[in-house]
Amino acid sequence: MTKSQQLRKLHSNDTVLSVVVMWTIWGNRSFSNSSIRRLESNTSILKHLISKITATGPISVAEYMREALTNPVSGYYVKNDMLGAGGDFITSPEISQIFGELLGVWCVSEWMAAGKSSVFQLVELGPGRGSLASDILRVFSQLKVVLGETDISVHLVEVSPKLSQLQAKCLTGDQTWTCNDDQPVYCSGTTCTGLPIYWYHRIEDVPRGFSVFLAHEFFDALPIHKFQRTENGWREVMVDIDPESPEKLRFVVSHSPTLASSMLIQKDENRQHVEVCPEGGVIVQKMANRIADDGGAALIVDYGHDGTKTDTFRGFKGHQLHNVLEAPGMADLTADVDFSYLRKITGNQVTCLGPITQRSFLKNMGIDSRLQVLLRSCHDPSTRAQLINSYDMLINPEKMGHRFQFFSMLSRGRLAQRKGMQQDTAPLPVAGFAELNVQ
Ligand SMILES: C[S@@+](CC[C@H](N)C(=O)[O-])C[C@H]1O[C@@H](n2cnc3c(N)ncnc32)[C@H](O)[C@@H]1O
């Protein structure tokens, strides 16, 4: 058992009391592998891309990224468990259970503020190893009194067969789960906490109904197009074969406009270089439609900016930066999320909040009190040190505190002031985006 698993186990019976008490005091207003196999897969994706470019010419960065990450035979996400110390990168839910617990409280808080719907779907996009969902479900169990007889179900949108197996093990324990790759619901089972759980490849296959959507480090993994402003106007950056080294790839700027460069650049764009993620836009539009029609909320957490950054496309391998055009399929490829683009895409269907920094969000959610509760019940010096170090990693501005941003979509009615009501029945503040007023 790893140290992080030991920690999770050690505190799994612990309650999220500090946060719960805080909300109660606040007045119920807003409850509140093998290296050989890896080398083969690298060679196969590179060979595949080289023969494709030889046959039909340079490909877009989006197509390159899609093949490298999600090629159904040898894509990076399809074959690997890349998370954690032995992988290529580590994410907040893997660093500390506190992260998922606070997001669990956020989900319940928004469910309450939206009127305690009798049906509650927790939908996570790109759940990795399942750690975030696991920590959230533990909070749901501890808040059974609050959730009552609500019909809760869990829905995971995951493209990777390898990761969906890890998720099923993590979330259903030893219970059996059944899979049928040909169906829209390609896997289903029962969580360790007794809730029905389902897996899908696409968000559109998730049933309609009140849903809280979570996407942690999901949007940064979706394919981007890159554009360069030139004296002849906007041109798309493409991936081509390096003429000096036919086994290698290089970036080139397209001579003439492409369909993407004609369609995806905003008229008022003033940057010199722009990255656009249309696939992310389509997914956000679907979430916004559902929230507007069926009720619910969404929380998107990622590296990102508000329409200011230019060239953010990068690779990670073994926790180090990695040349994005080298060894496709063997390294993570990622680009900062442009939250201003996502906000524009939602139109007026939903209310958007943020982006705000991870530090602000977690502080507003009561991470300091939660850490104190855990430290009070823990006397082992090394476990205490690990709790403090992981807290620091999450909120230190020099570490993940300012690099990661929280962005939310809520149904428009959520923040509307109720007509004719006194001030004390004003809309409930949104947990995480507003400081909790503990008196
Ligand atoms: C960077 S990992 C983040 C994992 C997890 N959310 C975490 O923070 O630990 C990206 C996740 O999104 C999944 N993913 C990537 N592209 C996807 C796509 N197009 N559709 C569904 N899932 C995708 C990956 O398999 C993986 O589970």
pLDDT tens digits in sequence order for the chain, 439 residues long:
444 444 443 344 333 333 333 333 222 222 224 444 444 445 789 999 999 999 999 999 999 999 999 999 889 998 878 887 778 889 999 999 999 999 999 999 999 999 999 999 999 999 999 999 999 999 999 999 999 999 999 999 999 999 999 999 999 997 677 888 788 999 999 999 999 999 999 999 999 999 999 999 999 999 999 999 999 999 999 999 999 999 999 999 999 999 999 999 999 999 999 999 999 999 999 999 999 999 999 999 999 999 999 999 999 999 999 999 999 999 999 999 999 999 999 998 999 999 999 999 999 999 999 999 999 999 999 999 999 999 999 999 999 999 999 999 999 988 875 555 555 566 778 999 987 554 3
The rounded distance, in Å, linking the Cα atoms of 393 and 343 is 28
Spatial CA neighbour of 353 closest among 436, 268, 425, 414: 414
| Structure tokens that stand for 130 in this block | 């399942």
As beta bridge partners, residue 361 has none
Spatial CA neighbour of 42 closest among 330, 403, 422: 330
Spatial CA neighbour of 109 closest among 367, 410, 382, 385: 410
Q: Is the CB of 130 under 6 A from ligand 1?
A: no
CA of 382 to the centre of ligand 1 (A): 31
Q: Is the CB of 367 under 6 A from ligand 1?
A: no
The rounded distance, in Å, linking the Cα atoms of 12 and 377 is 12
Q: Is the CB of 158 under 6 A from ligand 1?
A: yes
Predicted local confidence at residue 422, as pLDDT = 53
The rounded distance, in Å, linking the Cα atoms of 69 and 49 is 13
Predicted local confidence at residue 10, as pLDDT = 36
Q: Note the maximum CA span of the chain.
A: 73
**Residue nearest atom 11 in ligand 1 by C-alpha distance:** 126
Q: Which of 158, 199, 206, 222 to mutate to test the pocket of ligand 1 (most atoms within 8 A of CB)?
A: 158
The rounded distance, in Å, linking the Cα atoms of 295 and 288 is 10
Predicted local confidence at residue 38, as pLDDT = 46
Predicted local confidence at residue 423, as pLDDT = 53
Distance from first CA to last CA of the chain, Å, rounded? Answer: 41
The pTM is what?
Answer: 0.90
Atom in ligand 1 nearest the alpha carbon of residue 215: 6
257: CB partners within 8 A, 6+ apart: 233, 234, 235, 236
Predicted local confidence at residue 282, as pLDDT = 98
Q: Is the CB of 94 under 6 A from ligand 1?
A: yes
Predicted local confidence at residue 424, as pLDDT = 54
Spatial CA neighbour of 100 closest among 89, 90, 109, 92: 92
**CA count, 13 A, side-chain hemisphere, 219:** 32
Predicted local confidence at residue 181, as pLDDT = 79
Q: Is the CB of 77 under 6 A from ligand 1?
A: yes
What 8-state DSSP symbol labels residue 30?
Answer: S
**Residue nearest atom 1 in ligand 1 by C-alpha distance:** 217
Q: Which of 131, 156, 159 to mutate to test the pocket of ligand 1 (most atoms within 8 A of CB)?
A: 159
Rounded to 5°, angle at Cα 356 from 15 and 106: 25
CA of 307 to the centre of ligand 1 (A): 23
Predicted local confidence at residue 42, as pLDDT = 54
Helix (H, G, I), strand (E, B) or coil at 14: coil
Predicted local confidence at residue 417, as pLDDT = 58
Predicted local confidence at residue 26, as pLDDT = 29
Predicted local confidence at residue 247, as pLDDT = 92
β-pairing, 178-179 vs 233-241, is: unpaired
Contact yes or no for 311/271 (Cβ under 8 A):
no
Predicted local confidence at residue 8, as pLDDT = 43
CA of 135 to the centre of ligand 1 (A): 17
The rounded distance, in Å, linking the Cα atoms of 439 and 437 is 6
Helix (H, G, I), strand (E, B) or coil at 281: helix
